[in-house]
């Protein structure tokens, strides 16, 4: 993977019509693209009117489908292979985030990462290794990779919300508890929400929980009148 690969994808400007005071970056799951998660933005934008939403496409074509993108290959699903893929994606994602923040005159304190499935894996891996902590990470239906070496690798401890369907047949529900335990063991503040009856997806209750997390940790995204 070329570490200079630029990322592109859809965006939603702040509902206030002003320059953004916060940046919310949405990372999609494998086989999807930025259009998949930018659909969350309209549900949240009215309550976070000072935030801009970006949903970049993954850096690679999906190698398991004739369409879509990926952050790393899942052809080999051993933890070592998946973490190697994340290590290759890390400088690309960091480069995108650094440029997006610099262009808007914002800092990591104004940034939140929201991921779904592989996007959650990527969001967690990235946020925990950035030199400065972002404001929050919201992870839907994902997992934590790199847990065995997290204690020595961790550079930042942003607050994390994990949401997972109890009937998830793609990423096992147990991944949420495993991630929570490892994160707490590394000193990360973690909240979890289990969704009974939910498969691999995001439901209205999960959207509300994500919004609450973002409003609490990105107050600059909430207008004074909200």
**Which of 24, 11, 10, 192 has the alpha carbon at shortest distance from 97?**
24
117 in catalytic set: yes
| Residue 110 backbone class (left: φ over 0; alpha: ψ -120 to 50; beta: rest) | alpha
Name residue 180's beta-bridge partners. none
Name residue 115's beta-bridge partners. 27, 139
Q: How far apart are CA 4 and CA 56, in angstroms?
A: 15
Which is catalytic among the residues 108, 110, 117, 217?
117
H helices present in the chain, as ranges: 34-38, 41-45, 79-104, 118-127, 150-153, 174-185, 204-217
223 in catalytic set: no
| Residue 179 backbone class (left: φ over 0; alpha: ψ -120 to 50; beta: rest) | alpha
Q: How far apart are CA 209 and CA 214, in angstroms?
A: 9
**Which of 178, 173, 188, 172 has the alpha carbon at shortest distance from 148?**
178
Query: What are the phi and psi torsion angles at 176 (to 5°)?
Result: -65, -45
Which is catalytic among the residues 43, 200, 203, 223?
200
Which is catalytic among the residues 28, 57, 168, 217?
168
Catalytic residues: 117, 168, 200
């Amino acid at each position: 993977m070329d570490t200079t690969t630029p990322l592109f994808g859809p965006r939603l400007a702040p509902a206030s019509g002003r320059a953004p005071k916060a940046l919310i970056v949405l990372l999609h799951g494998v086989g999807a693209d930025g259009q998949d998660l930018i659909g969350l933005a309209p549900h949240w934008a009215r309550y976070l009117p000072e935030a801009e939403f970006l949903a970049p496409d993954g850096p690679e074509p999906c190698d398991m489908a004739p369409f879509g993108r990926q952050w790393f290959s899942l052809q080999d699903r051993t933890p070592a292979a998946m973490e190697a893929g994340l290590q290759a994606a890390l400088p690309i994602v960091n480069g995108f985030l650094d440029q997006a923040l610099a262009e808007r005159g914002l800092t990591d304190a104004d940034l939140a990462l929201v991921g779904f499935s592989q996007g959650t894996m990527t969001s967690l891996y990235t946020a925990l290794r950035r030199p400065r902590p972002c404001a929050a990470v919201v992870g839907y239906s994902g997992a934590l990779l790199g847990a065995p070496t997290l204690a020595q690798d961790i550079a930042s401890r942003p607050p994390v919300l994990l949401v997972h369907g109890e009937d998830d047949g793609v990423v096992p529900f147990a991944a949420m508890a495993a991630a929570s335990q490892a994160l707490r063991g590394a000193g990360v503040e973690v909240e979890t929400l289990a969704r009974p009856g939910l498969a691999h997806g995001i439901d209205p209750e999960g959207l509300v929980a994500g919004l609450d997390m973002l409003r609490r940790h990105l107050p600059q995204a909430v207008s004074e009148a909200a």
